[in-house]
Amino acid sequence: MEKTMCVFEEKEGRNFVETWRTENPAEVFERLTHVFVAKKLCACTWVKSIRRVHGYTGFDRIIVTYDHGGRDIYTIPSH
Angle at 42 between CA 55 and CA 76, to 5 degrees: 20
The whole-chain average pLDDT of the chain stands at 94
Q: What is the pTM of this model?
A: 0.91
HEC string for 43-71: CCCCEEEEEEECCCCCEEEEEEEECCCCE
pLDDT-derived band at 27 (thresholds 50, 70, 90) equals: very high
pLDDT-derived band at 19 (thresholds 50, 70, 90) equals: very high
pLDDT digits (tens, 9 = 90+) for 38-73: 999 999 999 999 999 998 889 999 999 999 999 999
